[in-house]
Chain A
Amino acid sequence: MDLLEGELEQIQSDTGAILQHHGTKRQELIPIIQEVQEKMGYVPKPAMQLIAEALKIPEVDVYGVTTFYNQFRMNPPGKHQIKVCMGTACHMMGGHIVLDCFERRLEIKEGETTPDREFSLERVACVGCCALAPVVDVDKKIEAKVSPIRVDGILLTYDIEKQEQEKKAKLEEEQKEGEEKGGQVE
């Protein structure tokens, strides 16, 4: 995942602030990573390097701990968060097919974020509505009985939404420009 402009500085200052109120013992490692994730929504690699430096442990050890625990995200959360349920009922009803569909359509793997940061894909253990299996949680809205066709539908909705927003923004801009020009003529 490439960092956006100015993001590196932000990560460094945030991580530095978090490190300041922690000790330098190895036992502080997980609390620090947790706090970094809470602050930024994920654990960026530059932050891991800073943590390793502060605790005087190899950076690969920090990376190992972060990749070991499911609670830690390695990629920034997307604008739209897609969570595919992989609980028992959803799994039996083809949850993995749905996940596969999302992976192919978005061209990312589970746990990753699209390069434009529009979508992030995750698997969850159970959403709590097994009667509607297979379930997908899109931005905290539950999609019931999802089929591969519905996957296309969900993504299409966001595509159209995005296009409309862009159109609207364009129109507004044009209107503004028109008004300004009109004012000049008068």
Chain B
Amino acid sequence: MSSKVNITIDGEQYQVPAGENLLWAALDCGVYIPHLCSIREKERSDASCRLCFVEIEGIPNPVTSCTQEVREGMVVKTRTPLVDRLVKTGFELLLSDHKLRCGKCPKNRQCELQKIAKERKLKLKLTRLRPLLTEEEPVDDSAKTFIYDPNRCILCGQCIWVDHHKVEAGAIGFINRGFDRKMGTFGDVSLAESICTQCGECVKVCPVGALTFKVEEVEKG
């Protein structure tokens, strides 16, 4: 049997497998920590979504839980004023470059952003920041079974990881820079024109409405 360590999350004692990632250990114990970019099988997390912040006793500032390994006697707090402020700002920044209009989104009610907003009582609306004034990217519906809407993409990189490491197709990746950064194909051609095998694995992992199956739309419509 693999060794276990005792950790305290928000005052509750838990026994978790040693060497486990704090984020996934907490999620397994039923403690919700917002997260978008973390992938369980991935050795080292990108820690790019900036949502899984926690405070750990002994570390002066909040840290991303996806980059922490559990230690014996670790005392973790998932909700402190500092953590809440960081998560709130991170969430707002994500929303500033995300086409909201949830009512028209095929992922409405199953969206990870909506879940985070509900759990942490955050607004799904921009109040402090103004939305980006960049032009809307065209929606790519060239693939047979799914649609890619770059305007809804939050650049978590889940689809790209699946494409590279599970399917090993190597069809999609991050392209361009800054506000123009997006998930795209070689030469920025449509998915049908690329070497994409259209297996649909990337659609399954998309936490938001950027990659959605076409069938769902037909059923709803």
Contact = CB atoms under 8 A, between A and B. Distances in A.
Pick the most buried of A57, A67, A69, A70: most chain B CB atoms within 10 A of its CB: A67
Contacts of B164: 58
A57 B168 CA distance: 10
B170 A58 contact: yes
A60 B186 contact: yes
Contact of B170 (A45, A59, A67, A69): A59
Contacts of A58: 164, 169-171, 173
B186 A59 contact: yes
Pick the most buried of A49, A57, A64, A69: most chain B CB atoms within 10 A of its CB: A64
Contacts of B187: 45, 63
B176 interface: yes
Nearest to B196: A60
A3 to B, nearest CB: 13
Nearest to A63: B186
Interface in B177-196: 177, 184-188
A138 B87 CA distance: 48
B14 interface: no
A1 to B, nearest CB: 11
Given A58-B164, A63-B186, A68 B176 contact: yes
Contact of B173 (A49, A60, A70): A60
Interface residues of A, number: 14
B64 to A, nearest CB: 23
A173 interface: no
B71 to A, nearest CB: 32
A64 B174 contact: yes
Contacts of A61: 170, 173
A56 to B, nearest CB: 10
Contacts of B176: 67-68
Nearest to B160: A60
Pick the most buried of B164, B169, B172, B175: most chain A CB atoms within 10 A of its CB: B175
B173 A63 contact: yes
B122 to A, nearest CB: 31
18 contacts: A45-B187, A48-B186, A49-B186, A59-B186, A60-B171, A60-B172, A60-B173, A60-B175, A60-B185, A61-B170, A61-B173, A63-B186, A63-B187, A63-B188, A64-B173, A67-B175, A69-B177, A70-B177
Given A49-B186, A68-B176, A70-B177, 19 more contacts: A45-B186, A45-B187, A48-B186, A57-B170, A58-B169, A58-B170, A58-B173, A60-B170, A60-B175, A63-B175, A63-B186, A63-B188, A64-B173, A64-B174, A64-B175, A67-B175, A67-B176, A68-B175, A69-B177
